[in-house]
Structure 1
C-alpha cells in the first residue's frame, strides 16, 4: 500500500514530450471483488496480477485472468466482477488538452474510440515490466533523484499502456509512439549535425534510425514545425556561417564541408538565407571584429 500512497503523492502530474497528463489516482488492490456499474470522465487502465473475474463494458462481457489488462474509457459504463477476488494495479488519468500538442490531443480522441479494450500481455512485455518497476521504485524514497525517477517511470508506463490499446500507436509499435519521437528527433538532429558533408537524404537517415522516411518527416514537422529538408538546409547554412567566421577555409572547401553540391548552389542558398554572399558575409564579420578590437 505504501507504493500507492507514494505514487499518488509524487506522480500526479506528468509533463513530457509535448503532453501533460493529470493522474487522478494510482491503485493497488490485493483482492478486488464486485463493484457497481459506473462510469468515469477520464481513462482508467487496470492490470490483473492474479485471479479470475469478468469485465463488463456497456453490454459486452470479457473474461479476466492473470496478465490481462483492460481499458475503461470516459463516459462508458463498466463493471468488474470476481467471486474469488482479483489482484489489481490501476491508474486513472486524462490529458490536459490545453497544455498538450495537437498530436497528443488527436491520439487521446482516438483512445476514446478504441474497440479492443481487453488484452492479454506477456509478463515480460514493456507495460508489465514498467508497472512492476514502478511499484518497486516507489518504495525507495530515500534514493537521490527519487521524484524524477518516479515521474519518468510513470510517464513511460502511461505511454506504454496507451501504445498497447490505441490502434495508431500499435501499428508503428516502438517507432512511432509520442514518447520516442523526441528522443528520435534528438538522435536525428545529432546525426545530421555530425554528417553535414554527406548527402543526408531523408530515406538514408530514416534507415539509419530504423524507421520509415514518412515517420521521420512527420517527427520534424510535428516537433519543430519545419520539414526535414528545411532543417538540414538551415544546419548547412549555420555551419557554413560558423566556418566563414572562424576559419580561413576557401568558399569551395566550406561548400564541400557543409554538403553543398557546388559553389554556385552554396552561394545561392547562403545568400538567400543570410542576405549576403559567403564572401561578403566573411568580410563584414572580419571588419566588425577589427572595429570592435580597435574600439577597445
Structure 2
C-alpha cells in the first residue's frame, strides 16, 4: 500500500471528520495521519487515545516503560495519560488517528466502554493478514480521496464511526461478548427466517407445520422459538401480522373489505371483521373512515 496516494485523503479527513456522532456516542477526532516514513519521536503522553497501524517497516514502541516490537500489520494503541514513544531506524509507514469520547454528548454505556478502554492490557495486536479494522481504515482513506461524491461527508462519517468501534472491539475484549446470554444464536436466525416467510405469505393459510417444514425444523421446535423469544404463540403472531397488514391496506388503499380479507389470509369477510373488531376495538369500516374521510375529526371505540 503506497501511502503517498492517500495523503489527499488524510487532508480531507482532517477537514471534514473532526467529530463523529452515532448510536449514543460522540467522538472528537483530533487528527488523522498518513505518514509514509515515521522515525523517532520523544517520550510523551496525550489526554486522548491514539491508535497506529504499521503498513510497512520495523521499529519499537515504548509504553509505560515496556518495550514492544513493531512490524508490518501491527496495530497499537496509546492510552490517555500514559507515556509512550515510537522508534525506528529505517522508518515506519504508519496510519494513525487520535480520538476521545465527548462525555457530555454521549450516553452512560459509551462512557463505561471508554473507561474500560483506558484499562486495557493488550495494547499491541499483530496479525499475519489484514484485519477488519485495517480494511475499514483503507476503505475510509479511499473514500476520502473521492470528494466529488454527493454523499461524501455522510459516507466518510459512517465509515469513520465503524472504524473507531472496530478499534475499540479489538482492544476491549469484553465488547465481543453478547448481552443476550439466554437466547441461543441459532434461535434468533430461525426466528428471523420464520418472520420473513410469514410476512411474505400472509395471504396463505400459514400453518405451523408448513412454516416449520420450510425451515427444516420440527413444529414443536418452531413453536418454542416464538414463545421463548417473543412471548407469544405462533398462531397469535400470525394473526397479529394479518391485522397489522390489514390496517395498512385500510389506510392506504381503496381495496374492498373482501379483497383485504383475501390479501391478509382470512377465510371470509365475516371472520376478518370479527377478528379485526375484537383486536382493534373498532370495525374495519370505522377504522378506515378515521384515516380516509376528512370529515371524521373524532374517534371513539364504540
Common fold, TM-score beyond 0.5?
A: yes
Q: What is the number of residues matched between the two proteins?
A: 242
Cα distance in 2 between the residues matched to 1:90 and 1:65: 15
Unpaired runs of 5+ residues, structure 1, are: 176-183, 208-226, 258-262
**Does residue 194 in structure 1 map to residue 196 in structure 2?**
no
Tell me the TM-score normalised to structure 1 length: 0.64
* 8 Å CA contact retained: 2:116, 2:172: yes
Whose Rg is larger? 2
Task: Tell me which of 116, 124, 128 is aligned to 1:118.
Answer: 124
Task: Tell me which of 45, 67, 72 is aligned to 1:61.
Answer: 67
Question: What's 2:279 paired with?
Answer: 270
Question: What's 2:104 paired with?
Answer: 98
Question: What's 1:141 paired with?
Answer: 147
3-state DSSP class of the match of 1:111? helix
Cα distance in 2 between the residues matched to 1:199 and 1:118: 54
Question: What's 2:224 paired with?
Answer: none
Question: What's 2:46 paired with?
Answer: 40
Identify if the C-alpha distance between structure 1 residues 166 and 192 changes in structure 2 by more than 3 Å, giving closer, same or farther: farther
Name the Cα RMSD after superposition.
4.1
* 8 Å CA contact retained: 2:28, 2:99: yes
Cα distance in 2 between the residues matched to 1:146 and 1:239: 37
Question: What's 1:282 paired with?
Answer: 284
Question: What's 1:292 paired with?
Answer: 295
Measure how far apart 1:162 and its partner are. Answer: 1.7
Deviations, residues 17-68 of structure 1 (Å, cap 9, x unaligned): 3322211100122222222222211111100111111112212221111110
Unpaired runs of 5+ residues, structure 2, are: 1-6, 181-188, 216-228, 267-271, 297-302
Task: Tell me which of 12, 17, 36 is aligned to 1:11.
Answer: 17
* 8 Å CA contact retained: 2:20, 2:160: yes
Task: Tell me which of 9, 34, 44 is aligned to 1:28.
Answer: 34
